[in-house]
Amino acid sequence: MTADLEVGPEDAGVRLDVFVASALGLSRTRVQRLLEEGRIRLDGRPPRKSEVLARGQRLVVEVPSPASLAAKPEPIPLTIVFQDADLVVVDKPAGLVVHPSVGHAHGTLVNALLYHVRDLSGIGGALRPGIVHRLDRDTSGLMVVAKNDAAHQGLSKALVRRRVRRLYRAATWGHLAVATLLVDAPIARDPVHRKHMAVVAEGRRAVTRARVRERWRAAELLDVALETGRTHQIRVHMAHVGHPVVGDAVYGAGWERGMGGPDRGWARELARRVPRQFLHAAELVFEHPRTGARMRFRSPLPPDLAAAAAWAREGRP
């Protein structure tokens, strides 16, 4: 498969390897291999991976068909919300890793997809067939997966151009000072804890919008919309502004224990009732990559989070 990409105004100043990885749903490591194999041309010439792109430049990327998939089909239960010849929309449960990796060779969403869907795109590579975007293991909710290369390229481009709307429900500690919040803060690997992400001045731009949906006793239920799709973006941004996601063991661990006064007991009880990070991909809106039809999908809070929210609404200590 050969992809022809044009650098838009929103991507000017982005590194070539970052741009190609985002546009085609590839890992940075795979983009590096394509560069080494001479499969990427920038305005007709071989580029450097660190080259910074300018508006209007064109890239031609040759993505060879992958070898036989390393991931194997597994009969893992999977909720398929929608499916046609081009794509499939799934409602991922919490606890399910999206694709195989070190420490998670089996039991992933990819293994489930290979069992339930027979015609996935191979463009994502041997371990990520059809995967266009990810959700964290402990985040539940809606994902779209491509079933052919044209759909994969179209959906990936739409993500890069911010034409895919992803709305999340998140419970966060404390109360925002405003009803709506815009967080525009760059994200990169934490320089100290390399397995974590953090707001870092040299990171990639990340934009998150949040709106208070319900105000609870010592926490809030938010509607959160992503304008960019950085790793752990919502969790990092909400922790950065002092309101970490309830149940987030990485960026908000033990936050409720520091709460004083009469709300301490309530906060500890809510934390006990939330079995994992309170983050759910509740709405997904995009244009169908082949027909252009507007596609909109919604997913209610799953039972574990719905039960915690119902308790929180009562406001009991």
What is the torsional sign of CA 224, 230, 235, 240?
negative
Token pair for residue 208? Answer: 């998150």
Q: Where are the beta strands (DSSP E) in 160-293?
A: 165-173, 180-184, 187-189, 197-199, 207-215, 219-226, 279-287
Token pair for residue 62? Answer: 């040759």
Residue 87 contacts residue 102 (beta carbons within 8 Å): no
Question: Coil, strand or helix: which one is 114?
Answer: helix
Give the span between the Cα atoms of 251 and 184, in whole angstroms.
18
Give the span between the Cα atoms of 139 and 97, in whole angstroms.
9
Catalytic residue numbers read 136
Report in angstroms the alpha-carbon separations of 79 from 74, 113, 143, 152. Answer: 14, 10, 11, 21
Give the span between the Cα atoms of 294 and 190, in whole angstroms.
38
Helix spans in the chain (H): 16-24, 28-36, 109-116, 149-160, 233-240, 263-273, 303-314
Greatest CA span in the chain, whole angstroms?
66
At 48, the amino acid letter reads: R
